Amino acid sequence: MMQSLINFEIRYQQKQKSFVGFALLFLILGFLLGKQGFAPPNVDFNSHFQIFYNSALISLSCVFPIMFFCISGVLRDKQYEMESLVYATPIQKNNFFLSRFYGVFLFSLISFSTFLIGFFLGTQMPNLDSERLQNFELLSYLWIWMILIVPNIFICTSLIFSVSLLSKNSLATYMIAIAIYALYWICSVFINSPLLANTAPTNPEILNLAAIADPFGLSAFFEQTQYWSVLQKNENFISLSGKFLWNRFVWLCFSGLILIWSYKKFDFKISRNDPKGKSAEMKSIAPETKYVRVQIETSEKSSLLQFFSLLKIELKYIFGNLPFIAVSIIWVVLILTEILSKINHVETYNDSLLPATNLLIREITNTIHFFGLLLVIFYSGELVWRERSLNLNGVINVTPSSNATFFLAKGISLLFIPISILVIGVFVCIGFQISKSYFFFEIGQYIDLFYYSGITFVFYSMLSLFLQNLIQKKHLAMLITGIVAIVFGTSIAQNIGLEHPMLQIGNMPEITFSNMNGYGRTSFHYFAIYWLSFGLLLTFFSFRLWKRREAESRTRWKQIFSKFKKAYWWAFFGLFAIFLTSGFIIFYNTNIAVEYISSEENLNRREAYEKKYKQYENLQKLVLVDAKTEMNLYPEQGKYDFKANYILENTGDSIVIQILITENEALKNLSVENATLLEHDTKLGTYLFIFKKPVIPGQKVKFSYEIEYKSNGFTANKSLLENGSYLMHNSFEPSLSYNENFEIQDHMEREKRNLPKKEEELVREDDILNDQNSSFRKIDFETIVSTETGQIALAPGDLLCHWKENGRNYFQYKSPHKIAMFIAYFSADYAVQKEEYKEISIEQYYHPPHFFNIDKIENSSKMALDYCLQNFGDYPLDHLRIAEIPSLWNFGGQALPGTISMVEDRLYLIDDRNPQHFDLVAKRTIHEVAHQYWGHILTPKNTEGAAIFTEGFAKYTEAVVMEKLYGKSAVIQLSEQANERYFSERAFAEQQESPLYLSNGESYLSYGKNYISMLATKELIGEEKVNSVLKSLLGKFKDDVEPKLTSLDFLKELYKVTPKNHQNLIDDWFKKIITYDLKVDFLKLEKLENESYKIEFEVTARKFEDKENGEVVSVSIDEPIQIGVFTENPNRLQNDDQIIYLKPHRINKGKMKFSIVVKQLPKFITIDPLATRLDAKRIDNIDRVSKF
């Protein structure tokens, strides 16, 4: 019996088109993913790690095939009204249950497993870098199949099958599938999963929890591999142990229980309600009315009545049903978590952002897009086929209502879905703002959201209605619409060669909103018209294809143009004309007005550039020593004119004959003194000049050029905005030599084009001393910046004068001393706050509504200046400017000489109202102010290890000033973050790690290890001694016109103030790659007589070194490390009074026992509480002190 049932199930499912479809889909998906060669740097494409990662990621989408199979496997009896037959047969409940489950599970598993085959085939494609491919290992695939795919499919099948079986409702089945999928992403957002490629590291405590809670095992996978090196990623198998084993166990048990439960609940009976008895029939007194036929009309009025009656029925169906209510709840949860996770405690130090409307909208837009599209696609199928699936079409379709009425009612009701999604979203946002007592609702922005997000929905509604009408198969049409949405909504379109935005169906240009600039110039409206008119054309066809009767296929196509009324022709050609016109406008602006460069063409040019000019790479260079510029900004019109007069100098010791200039923006009136233009390549934007007489060492040459730039809104340019322009000099100025950055970087691409391989060289001490290539000079700088009235223009330098001319504002800036050429021009409608402080004018330029943190920024600047003036030396300028720039920039801030740019949402919109929170405003301000000393006054040689002076010293200053302001708790938070950053980012580093003093600006070293090493040094030798080193370096090197300071100078100074016996530690931290594994275990607490406590504990300490060959070896340990006793968890410290004891102890053995006597009742014992040692597992550095 069972056997034959299963066999039938197999035959049945096998015949379903969806089975073939999904099997193919996953095969193709696997193939594409395999062929794409997607892996973190240096990890092999088909390493076990990578296959696992890909499979796990894709396995999230296994809910969709399962959903389909559940509908065909579980709901088919109801759908085809077979229930009464099936349930009347002698099949037993358990046989029925098991065979159906088995069918769904087996076919979901088979169709998904093709992914692995596809992936394997993909990795066999010749386009992949063979060096990053391992030999095929069947076991690797099988293992993943066993521990990942089979359980995941089983878990998802159990859940979806149970819902399907118990609800006997296809919409509920869709919803549970989507809910699993959506909830998964919510959780990823919530736990800040590495899945989302966030830079901020995942909190280890949360990851531990997620590792168990995640039904797909992805988080457990991340937990297991989070600190894996490249070598491990290439060689290790995922082991079925630890959290991963637990995860599998817990979830398999859980799904088993769910199955048993649903088996118990499942009622093996017909699901229809019992008919109400006849008894009621007699009671009611029927009025005496006689049936008469009544006249009918087919007028406009009847169409209108019909439309609304139909709409009412559809809307009642959509909104009055449990699935939609469930969807709404999921939706509210989804955006709330999204907002909470992106606004609340988002920043690395648990700080929140102000719930400004634009930030909320920014966070929910993607979710709205994804969720809305999903619903539109599902409901379009449900709505179009509703009467047919209810078998009501016979009744409805014979009525004289016109096709247009039916069609419009369906279409409009479909639009209600995204609209309601948006409305709910807006209400949740406003509610959130109120809960945060933020009352600037900016309703206008919410209304705009309907336009900017709505257009896509309108288009996709039209598209999916069209596809439903064209294909005439509900699920197939849903699938195809989904594929269209995925292909064109993601980067897949570009990968298959559909790069041009006009070909990416329904894809709207990304809009960027900032409070300063609003939406700015955008081509959005043109694309809106373009896609809407296209959508309306589709709608026109779908309306003509509307299926009112079963027709022969030839009649169906004839139907499109049959009985074509005049109005139809007008509509058709009108739409077509709009479509063509908007298309032409877009095409003109993307391809004719400006040159359209496809990514292939871009690569071609890079290749040509390298081939043609690589020979000039080692040409003796002329160096910029003096720059006078004129920048005329026209923000309203989106253009600027720029004039530059430079003086270049031959600072080398050989003559210069030629100079190669590579433009960034098209140059005009380019002139090089005493030189003739040898060659100008308009395509590559290069100019090769030959000097009439060679330029001898020390000789100076005049050089000038102009740039006229105009933006048309079709090419994104975040530099030049209507309000809040920020033009960085290096973004448009030409390079005065061969520019290596133009070379193709991708190994594969280079190989394909037969370009020589780029070798990474190991940098050694001598190299940083002898590095001549990177020599640059501090320069004299002077500029005149002009902008329209109503805006203030800024640039580095003293403001010499300011005047108005021709209705424009002019500002002349000149730097009083030589500066590093790190220049930008600002222009915006700024509010200004100035404060004279110790003869320095602290000037803030900010967007007027962003007044929240202005005073705090000012105070923090004062604190930072105070500390620097006291400990390091004079501040050479009479001003310190801090200016706001729009949130389109993705950095925190930039320190130009004397002028700091800070980004809207990274400083001005931080919610700093809660004094308990880490003061991120102060931290960021102090950091950038510190850069005035560390980077500008003290400028290191531009070579490896320079980041110690810039970021290392700035982070150090940040820490000491923050400690002055907020005590040790601030330091601990900074340290924890730096430590986390080091370990999480280095796991994905592209190159082998170098020691600090030879680092190449990798952010995990610059902001992570630099800080930890400086802090460790400070705790080792004391703040005063560190400051004396910094001060003496400043004294020696600040007047260098050609910066010569290297990390070796720093180490030399450091050795001088460090006791002999600890100098090896300086080497450990700065010249080697050393990590620690420290651990403390509480042993005993004893109350002594005089109100004091004796605490005993054990410290485990291990120390490791990464050797040059990538090997990690254990090294001996002998150094002072702090031990702290606290009354509160050090990570949640509120003030320094909670520290009972904090002193360094000599740690020189792997395991050591200590006992300490303290005056207060201790709660926590820690080793290295300030996180001065790099330790991947910080959590065991703390142990709770139990009672006696």
Partner 1 sequence: MNFLQIENLTKIYPNGVKALDNLSLNISNGLFGLLGPNGAGKSSLMRSIASLQTPSSGKILFNGNDIVENPQEVRKHFGYLPQNFGVYPKISVQELLNHLAILKGVNKQTDRRNQVEALLVQTNLYAHRKKAVATFSGGMKQRFGIAQALLGNPQLIIVDEPTAGLDPEERNRFLNLLSEIGEEVIVILSTHIVEDVRDLCPEMAILANGKIIAQGNPVKLTESLEGKIWSKSINKELLEVYKNRFNVISTRFFAGKFQIQVFSNEKPEDGFNQIPPDLENYFFSKLSSQQF
Give the shortest CB-303-to-partner 1 separation in angstroms. Answer: 9
- Give CA–CA dist 927/936, Å, rounded: 13
Give the shortest CB-310-to-partner 1 separation in angstroms. Answer: 8
- Give CA–CA dist 318/324, Å, rounded: 6
Closest CB to partner 1 among 269 and 301? 301
Give the shortest CB-548-to-partner 1 separation in angstroms. Answer: 7
CA 987 vs CA 47, 434, 799, 814, 821: distances in Å: 16, 41, 47, 45, 34
H-helix or E-strand spanning residue 837 = strand 831-837
Closest CB to partner 1 among 196 and 551? 551
Closest CB to partner 1 among 139 and 282? 282
Contact status: 567 vs partner 1 (CB under 8 A): no
Closest CB to partner 1 among 401 and 860? 401
Contact status: 296 vs partner 1 (CB under 8 A): yes
- Selected range binding partner 1 among 53-61, 314-322, 335-343, 723-731, rule: CB under 8 A: 314-322
CA 811 vs CA 724, 786, 787, 792, 816: distances in Å: 17, 6, 9, 8, 16
Contact status: 301 vs partner 1 (CB under 8 A): yes
3-class secondary structure per residue, 119-159: HHHHHCCCCCCHHHCCCCCHHHHHHHHHHHHHHHHHHHHHH
Comparing CA positions, the residue from 1, 167, 159, 173 lying closest to residue 93 is: 1
Contact status: 317 vs partner 1 (CB under 8 A): yes
Residue owning tokens 């960021």: 924
Closest CB to partner 1 among 273 and 870? 273
Residue 704: strand pairing partners:
645, 671
- Give CA–CA dist 791/691, Å, rounded: 43
- Selected range binding partner 1 among 65-73, 137-145, 316-324, 958-966, rule: CB under 8 A: 316-324
> Of 135, 264, 269, 276, which one interacts with partner 1 (CB under 8 A)?
276
Contact status: 565 vs partner 1 (CB under 8 A): no
Residue owning tokens 């359209």: 596
Residue owning tokens 């990690």: 1112
Contact status: 395 vs partner 1 (CB under 8 A): yes
Residue 700: strand pairing partners:
649
Tell me which amino acid residue 193 is.
Answer: S
Contact status: 396 vs partner 1 (CB under 8 A): yes
Closest CB to partner 1 among 42 and 302? 302
How many Cα atoms occupy the beta-carbon half-sphere of 710 within 13 Å?
A: 5
> Of 552, 760, 766, 805, which one interacts with partner 1 (CB under 8 A)?
552
Give the shortest CB-398-to-partner 1 separation in angstroms. Answer: 4
Contact status: 286 vs partner 1 (CB under 8 A): yes
- Give CA–CA dist 141/139, Å, rounded: 5
Contact status: 288 vs partner 1 (CB under 8 A): yes
Q: Are 111 and 297 in contact (CB under 8 A)?
A: no
For helices 953-966 and 1010-1021, angle between their N-to-C axes, nearest 10 degrees: 60
At residue 146, what are phi and psi to the nearest 5 degrees?
-75, -45
Comparing CA positions, the residue from 149, 4, 170 lying closest to residue 72 is: 170
Tokens of residue 101, six digits:
């489950």
- Give CA–CA dist 492/498, Å, rounded: 9
Closest CB to partner 1 among 302 and 344? 302
Give the shortest CB-471-to-partner 1 separation in angstroms. Answer: 16
Closest CB to partner 1 among 269 and 283? 283
Q: Are 873 and 1033 in contact (CB under 8 A)?
A: no
Contact status: 551 vs partner 1 (CB under 8 A): yes
> Of 399, 598, 773, 1155, which one interacts with partner 1 (CB under 8 A)?
399
- Selected range binding partner 1 among 39-47, 65-73, 547-555, 676-684, rule: CB under 8 A: 547-555
- Selected range binding partner 1 among 303-311, 509-517, 962-970, 1081-1089, rule: CB under 8 A: 303-311
Give the shortest CB-221-to-partner 1 separation in angstroms. Answer: 44
Q: Binding-site residue total for partner 1 (CB under 8 A)? A: 52
Give the shortest CB-601-to-partner 1 separation in angstroms. Answer: 49
Closest CB to partner 1 among 276 and 566? 276
Closest CB to partner 1 among 548 and 1036? 548
Closest CB to partner 1 among 299 and 890? 299
Closest CB to partner 1 among 399 and 731? 399
> Of 398, 447, 801, 1088, which one interacts with partner 1 (CB under 8 A)?
398
Give the shortest CB-546-to-partner 1 separation in angstroms. Answer: 12
Give the shortest CB-566-to-partner 1 separation in angstroms. Answer: 17
Give the shortest CB-168-to-partner 1 separation in angstroms. Answer: 13
> Of 250, 253, 325, 392, which one interacts with partner 1 (CB under 8 A)?
392
Tell me which amino acid residue 986 is.
Answer: R
- Give CA–CA dist 503/495, Å, rounded: 13
Contact status: 546 vs partner 1 (CB under 8 A): no
- Give CA–CA dist 112/19, Å, rounded: 10
Helices of type H across 241-321? 242-265, 279-283, 300-319
Tell me 1060's DSSP state: G
Closest CB to partner 1 among 316 and 1177? 316
- Give CA–CA dist 876/880, Å, rounded: 10
CA 720 vs CA 713, 771, 809, 847, 931: distances in Å: 10, 36, 17, 16, 26
Contact status: 456 vs partner 1 (CB under 8 A): no
* Count of CB atoms situated within 10 Å of the CB of 33: 22
> Of 88, 131, 135, 281, which one interacts with partner 1 (CB under 8 A)?
281
200-259: which residues touch partner 1 (CB under 8 A)?
none
Give the shortest CB-461-to-partner 1 separation in angstroms. Answer: 22
Contact status: 293 vs partner 1 (CB under 8 A): yes
Tokens of residue 932, six digits:
């005035």
Contact status: 84 vs partner 1 (CB under 8 A): no
Contact status: 299 vs partner 1 (CB under 8 A): yes
Binding residues for partner 1 (CB under 8 A): 273, 275-276, 280-284, 286-299, 301-302, 305-306, 309-310, 312-313, 316-317, 320, 390-402, 548-552, 555
